[in-house]
Structure 1
């Protein structure tokens, strides 16, 4: 059975009401369509309508990706500006976003576009390098061992010429330089002679008497008795002579120790290279995933800039009308500072105090009938249907209750927000249940 309630006070308010504020600080942009009092605004949610598309790649006229993302500042502005209530000046945010998208395209053209081909080439090159370094490491050891063996060869001690290079008796030696000079000149020989003497070679033989000078003529030959006698039938011939000199420097070297030192240095260097190559080879099976993660990371950085740019546009989350403005074009808006109030009066909250025999219960249906809405006999009567959404006891013994009713306000004639209902029961009645 419905309870009859008498109104003590009852006032309407829009069920949906919000003070719009930016999530950043900046100057309100001087654009023509910025809303004013009484302007109707439509609900828009970037999260629901746009966020899922922010990472969309751009496709060129050839239906192939360009490496850019579709939503740069120009495309976002075209998408958002018609739906925005207010906009902050955002040229810097736009430039940072576009710069990041261009950098992303450069990275994509440099690496990610050819990821499959590069992976194959890198895999082959890594395996080849690792094999070469392993082989080189073995050659370094072999080179060292062969030199060590040469310096420890017992037979070298019996060879006076090898003692210069292989002084096992004294490993610290002075470096030796061997110079060879070839001298040539013209001499005379006996026609038809085939003699060879002291390493001198030509078309015939010639005795070696002294170092040759240019245009030196040897006019005779030694006899068996050791005396000289002239040629009976001489002829000129080219004579060549080779002279070898051995010079030791004043510096002291230690070839065997230096061999060990060079070997250890090469082993250290090659060990570093081998380690780096081995570690990198372990990454190669995961290179495609690594590259994908890197590209996704770039896209996430761009997404941050896209979201920051979107944050310079202010939207209403529901359809409604602007009922108050706190900032105008050219004003500076601080983070969280209200810029405008938007209200939707299609559903009202009626708050006040009523008197009834029993406590209203949340969720109970209610009906509010008001006559002469505008205070004259010509004013229409309205019936508002809804439910109890809040109850607070004020004086239970007297049957007084603070209540809030939620009612639909969608008729041809509407109750305005902020309307005070007449408490006279001749004009306003409330039934609960």
Structure 2
């Protein structure tokens, strides 16, 4: 190893990225310009920040990562964005639904879990499994009693006709009583004022054989003035009685085109009921398997809802473009309003802190990977200060019988003052550059 002659050599940033969206759409904003420096933000860091945002302080029902929450995380690092109103609406709807689910079930999880255990734990006398067992017993008892009744009445065969009968009876009674007796007296054309009429009171009414009557209490009329007067007074009695009694009986026989088998139908109903009860008992049994783990099941359900929301949060993140490396914007290929395809470059970012020197060298003998390369050069030609750089050979490909080599040398391109030594894409002048391999 020793001095190598340079045929050509150019500096390329080790870290460079053509930024593109995972999805297609219309570019909404481009937030950087050529020459701007951008921060490095690994994508998984953003997703971790979104997932770790959790719920709002003091309100476990509400996720902090709604549209505004996600934007507050991603916008400080965004270099471009697509139109994304539909994704915002979907995310906010999911966050609202998650809050409703929390209120309906998880806000009072302890009480809900206690109620479920009381309803489905076999240890509770009033639980559904025990009630289903009792219902099954009643269904069996009903079938036994119906079977016995059908057999006792010898009605286990086909019924071709049915008979119905009705009997009615009506009774009525009524009566009324009325008594009357009259006495009339006519007087002359004139009577003196204060005359009492009639002159003779009527006798008391003798009454009815079946009743006791005191008769009519007679009164007299005192004439108010001299006038013509006629007086009628008396009592009356009248009695009537009504009696009625009606009864009847009706019988109807029905013959249909379809015959019935009540005995068999009763057994069929019982079997269907047992099948339904068996299904319900199995469902209750399967549900009861969750009883010991309800707390964990509730936690898993809420976490699943949160993961569904998280997928929509990630979908919103995909509409923003961030840079995975810190560097300088060296290319902008799209402007707001232009269509962008998934994977199509929008912005190029390059980090010139660490560079690869891509060199064609003439060197006698092999150049091992890992060898140290020291170069001295006058940047921009003669008359400029000499610059020295040390690097490591990271790639070697031989040419022309072992004297020509394609070499890649990795070089730290930051000086003691934190400035870049070599410009982006710097092409070395072989006349003013020397390199040694050790």
TM class by shorter chain equals 0.7 to 0.9
Check if 1:341 corresponds to 2:348.
Answer: yes
1-side partners of 2:149 and 2:47: how far apart?
A: 78
Gaps of 5+ in 2: 176-239
The answer to whether 1:183 aligns with 2:188 is no
1:129 aligned partner: 128
Q: Please tell me whether residue 391 in structure 1 is matched to residue 404 in structure 2.
A: no
Find the residue that maps to 1:104 and give its secondary structure: helix
Alignment map for 1:216-365 (pairs within 5 Å): 243=247, 245=249, 247-251=251-255, 257-286=261-290, 288=294, 289-365=296-372
Aligned position for 1:71? 65
Q: What is the distance in 2 between the residues matched to 1:169 and 1:98?
A: 67
Cα deviation per residue 1:259-316 (whole Å; 9 max; x = unaligned)?
4413422430342133123323322332635544443333222222111110111111
Residue 115 of structure 1 is matched in structure 2 by: 109
TM-aligned CA deviation for residue 248 of structure 1: 3.5
Q: Structure 2 vs 1, CA of residues 140 and 283 (structure 1 numbering), >3 Å: closer, same or farther?
A: closer
CA distance in 1, matches of 2:66, 2:387: 52
Question: Residue 10 of structure 2 aligns to a residue in which SS?
Answer: strand
Residues 8 and 355, structure 1, Cα contact 8 Å, conserved in 2: yes
CA contact under 8 A between 1:151 and 1:256: conserved in structure 2? no
CA apart distance, 1:169:
11
Structure 2: distance between partners of 1:110 and 1:270? 35
Q: Does 1:23 align with 2:22?
A: yes
Relative to structure 1, the CA distance from residue 242 to residue 85 in structure 2 (aligned partners, 3 Å threshold; closer, same or farther) is same
Kindly name which structure, 1 or 2, has the bigger radius of gyration based on alpha carbons. Answer: 2
User: 1:338: Cα distance to partner?
Assistant: 0.7
Report SS of the residue matched to 1:306. Answer: helix
| Cα displacement (A) at 1:348 | 1.4
Question: How far is the alpha carbon of 1:111 from its aligned partner?
Answer: 2.2
* 1:346, distance to aligned residue in structure 2 (A): 1.1
Q: 1:140 touches 1:267 (CA, 8 Å); kept in 2?
A: no
Q: Does 1:403 align with 2:398?
A: no
Q: Given the two structures, how large is their TM-score scaled by the length of structure 2?
A: 0.74
**Going by fraction, where is strand more abundant, 1 or 2?**
2
1:256 to partner: Cα distance? 9.5
Question: Would the aligned equivalents of 2:47 and 2:314 in 1 still touch at CA under 8 Å?
Answer: no
CA distance in 2, matches of 1:52, 1:365: 42
Structure-2 change in CA distance of 1:141 and 1:181 (3 Å): farther
Q: CA RMSD in A?
A: 3.2
Alignment check: 8 A CA contact 1:367 1:386 kept: yes
Distance 1:389 1:144 in 2: 90
8 Å CA contact 1:130, 1:274 repeated in 2: no
Residue equivalent to 1:160: none
How far the C-alpha of 1:367 sits from its partner, in A, is 0.8
- How far off its partner does 1:39 sit? 0.5
For 1:137-194, what per-residue CA distance to the aligned partner results, in whole angstroms no more than 9, with x for missing partners? 33233233334433444xx8xxxxxxxxx7799965532323232424369xxxxxxx
Contact 1:175-1:253 at 8 Å conserved across structures: no
Shift in CA distance, 263/243, structure 1 to aligned 2, threshold 3 Å? farther
